[in-house]
Amino acid sequence: MPVISAPQEFNVDDLYVELEWISGRSLYLKCEGFNFAGSIKLKAASEMIAMAERSGELGPGDMLVESSSGNMGVAISLLARSRGYRFTCVTDSRCTLGARRLMEALGTTVHLVTEPDPVDGFLGARINHVKRLVARNNGYVWLNQYVNPGNWLAHFNTTGPEVLKSFPEVDVVFLGAGTTGTLMGSARYLKQAKPSVRVIAIDTVGSVTFGTPPGPRSIPGLGAGVRPHILDESFIDDVVHVTETDTLRVCRRLADRGFLFGGSTGTVVSGALRWLELNAPDPGITAVAIAPDLGDRYLDTLYNDQWVEEIYGADALRSVTATRLLTRGNQ
């Protein structure tokens, strides 16, 4: 019987959903949302805060500050509340209402950026605001997940080893690219422990992470308006870019089987399905995809038909609905 004294002490690290019904081959989805923060970001947040404490950068009475589109903000909120720190999260209008309310319930001050930077988009505007806060206030500590080695080290120590422990025979692993902490930490470990594993990065259309043109993005999580500093493409074998309408389709298909996942997970699964179809004719291949989050914070967006129609148009809504009806008919 697990007994814990702090929320970060609990995390389900060996739960997988078998997706052969959607992929036609051995694809396993590693579920990272079963912890008190509701996402994989709890791992990185815990490591970055612990590193700041060990170095003496972070101490009693300090104010943590971070830029986040949602999940990292929730994770830091939980840890800050548990460990007695104050926290200011700088987010933007794409952050879901559920995530913002959860942060506020945990005592976090949420600052909402409403205007994107002309060049670097909402991410650039958020980072600029964080820099101003730190410059003006003593005792403000910016974890800076975009350059902090603790972001990827957390996954080098946990997520990568967990995948190989459960699937020592794995051939390919699919990882979403946001700040690239999960991607880089897992990839570094996998390439060191089992060089034959192919690591596939999944990004969103409109993200500049891998040199593609910037574009509008409405689903928080994966993708970036500024190339992440911790990205090292030498550890990556291939990249797949997924449109947000494809993310919606996959999220709704998974929901029709009772699996309510978040936007980042839908993007990763969509990219994995496409890559496997184009590059892996062998049905015996073993593939693992990382599911960063669950879907409860997306009820007002991804799973709301009115929101989908307002953001993507009536044609997109009809397409998503048609896909769901087809899926139900084949069950």
- Would residue 194 show up in a list of annotated catalytic residues for this protein? no
Query: Which residue type sits at 181?
Result: G
Q: How many CB atoms lie within 10 A of CB 94?
A: 16
Identify any residues that bridge with 204 across adjacent strands, giving them in sequence order. Answer: 242
State how far the Cα of 27 lies from the Cα of 286, in Å rounded to an integer. Answer: 6
Q: Which of 39, 186, 264, 270 is catalytic?
A: 264
Rounded Cα distance between 266 and 293, Å, is: 9
DSSP states of 191-259 as a string? HHH-TT-EEEEEEETT--TTSPPP----S-SS--SS--TT--GGG-SEEEEE-HHHHHHHHHHHHTTT-
Spatial neighbors of 30 by CB under 8 A, at least 6 apart, are 15, 16, 159, 162, 163, 166, 288, 289, 290, 291
Core vs surface per residue 251-281: b (16+ CB within 10 A) or e:
bbbbbeeebbbbbbbbbbbbbbbebbeeebe
68 belongs to the catalytic site:
no
The neighbour count for residue 124, using CB atoms within 10 Å, is 18
Q: 30, 41, 43, 191: which one is catalytic?
A: 41
Residue type, 328: R
Rounded Cα–Cα distance for residues 58 and 52 (Å): 5
d(CA 253, CA 260): 9
Contact 272, 287 (CB under 8 A): yes
Active site residue ranges:
41, 264
